[in-house]
Amino acid sequence: MDSRKLEHKLEFLSAKVVALKHLRDEVVKRGGGGMEEWLKKVEVSVLELDEMQNELNELKKGGRLTTYSARRNLNKKLNESIDVVRGLEKEGKSSAESIHASLHEVTNKNPRPFSHADLVSWTSNFSHEVGFGGFGNVYKGKFPNGKQVAVKVLNEKDFDQETFMAEVVTMGGMASHRNLVKLHGYCFEDNMKALVYKYMENGSLEKVLYENHHNLKWEKLYGIAIEIAEGLAYLHDGCKVRIIHHDIKAANVLLDRTFSPKLTDFGLAKLMRRDKSHVTLTRTRGTRGYAAPEMWLPEAHISYKCDVYSFGMLLFEILGRRSNVEDDDWFPLEVWKKFERGQLHEIIQECDIIEKDRENAMILCKVALWCGQYHSLKRPDMSTVVKMLQKKIPVTTPPKPFPSWMLTNSLMLSSQDEISEQTDGSLGKERFQEREEDSIIHEEIASTSIESLKSTSSVHLDEARESEKILESFDKKCPLGGESSVILYTTRMRGVRKTFEDCNNVRRILESHGIMIIERDLFTEWDEIYKQQLKNLLGRVQIPALFVKGRFIGGAKEVSSLNEEGTLEILLYGIPKAGEETTVSM
């Protein structure tokens, strides 16, 4: 841990404290009611910042902070302070006064604020429940003028300010369309957080598809698909700013008394300026079975095309009335295989679609395959989708939508057909060896001798020795090219959720140290080579699996523990920084 890195952290902390002081001033200006304890904590953070600045000044002067342990202690304090300041910032922004001020600013009287007493009166004390979920319960009610409403009461313990604000901001004048549900107003009080919508008499599309509530004819379902597409096209191209819904699914499509669909639940919505090509996600959004592949990547760059993918999955669901959660007989993959063989009519027959609707069903299948393209750039925009469904433009033959290694089970391993293709058949032994040689070259590029990284400084030499001494306690298991590198066997694809999250956590920990990482993704074209490497090293396939300088460090649990106690930073000493050039002897 050098002084330069400490300076960068202190600069970041200083910026966060400045923002926190501005927030403090706003809270004080509004009276600060109920925020006394928070204000005290803010003052403590301001004082601690000054103390850490003094400690860093000693380091620059060559004082006691030239010892490695002192620098480690300061780094630990900086990390803890950053976490505290982030928490205080979140708490301050979540205060009742702060949210009320934001709501007043963005809604401009539409939607309107309602009181808890209003909701009790309109719902007859919440006596008629019409829906429920992880968010809370939905109750049927009636305005004094007789207009029916649906009141979504949010769970207090799970209340999320960002989600609540996204819903109100998006529907509060930002967007208005015949295929978007109308938000009449909201309630934001200490003991009640709720949203008040226009009541939809025929429930959700999900219930229509799976509970056969109204026995709708397929012709009507095709019309519903067109209207949903029109609503999405409006969000993407018809508003002042582009709105990405992020959670298009059958449960978020409500049907009014004439079965006209209305998109709802904008709690995950993201606004995007039209001169921007993407937004960055700071947390995972969407629903399994609908969310686009790119949405599961950490710090993903997301465009409006993620909604197009979700709409494609919804079309498959309308066609087959089957869930699109990945399993052994994933329906979108079945449709593609039949289409590729010229047997799409078999799928349509299996879905009990009658003769007069089969032309529309063929169009819907092809549009779904276009929308469900794995790579976002290949997906059409929603305005084009509307025209294709309305038969205003022809639907061209879609390209193969899924990668060759695409999942066929919940572990997201390659199908047996693909594995045999990769290891036998068309690849052949020579092709496999060629890929293995390419892999070795890729590994050597980041490989640098530890001796060349040691500084002549005695302090740095001590740290290098300490790192090597601790490393000796770990099993010597060295992947190709890993003698002086950090190699992480992982995946960026979502399969078993726990494994996916563990891989992300280990990746974030390593990236926080600013080092160069050789990442070997088990679900790429190199997957068979990497799996074999793990079997040779560990006797099994395990992800995540971290190797540092030819030693096996462990999985997610071990890496997290070593990081918390500060040992990981010592182990990583001498590893090139991310972005540094390395010299390789070939």
Is 152 annotated to bind a ligand? Reply is yes
Q: Are 136 and 153 within 8 A, CB to CB? A: yes
**Rounded Cα gap, residues 503 and 489, in angstroms:** 9
Distances (CA, A) of 99 to 35, 85, 488: 14, 19, 42
Q: Are 65 and 74 within 8 A, CB to CB? A: yes
Give me the phi and psi of 524, to 5 degrees please: -130, -170
**Rounded Cα gap, residues 177 and 87, in angstroms:** 38
Q: Are 99 and 107 within 8 A, CB to CB? A: no
* Sheet of 183-189, strands arranged across: 112-113, 183-189, 192-198, 148-154, 136-142, 129-133
DSSP designation for 173 = I
DSSP assignment of 473-488, as one string? Answer: TSEE---TT-TTSEEE
DSSP designation for 426 = T
Which residues, 6+ apart, have CB-to-CB distance to 376 below 8 Å? 292, 294, 303, 305, 306, 308, 309
Distances (CA, A) of 190 to 55, 114, 123, 141, 322: 43, 13, 19, 22, 41
Question: Which residue's structure tokens are 């025929």?
Answer: 202
Beta bridge partners of 475: 552
DSSP assignment of 434-474, as one string? Answer: HHHHHHHHHHHHT---HHHH--SSHHHHHHHHHHHHHHTTS
Catalytic residue among 247, 265, 307, 502: 247
247 is catalytic: yes
Q: Where is the binding site for ATP, in residues?
A: 152
Q: Report the catalytic residues.
A: 247
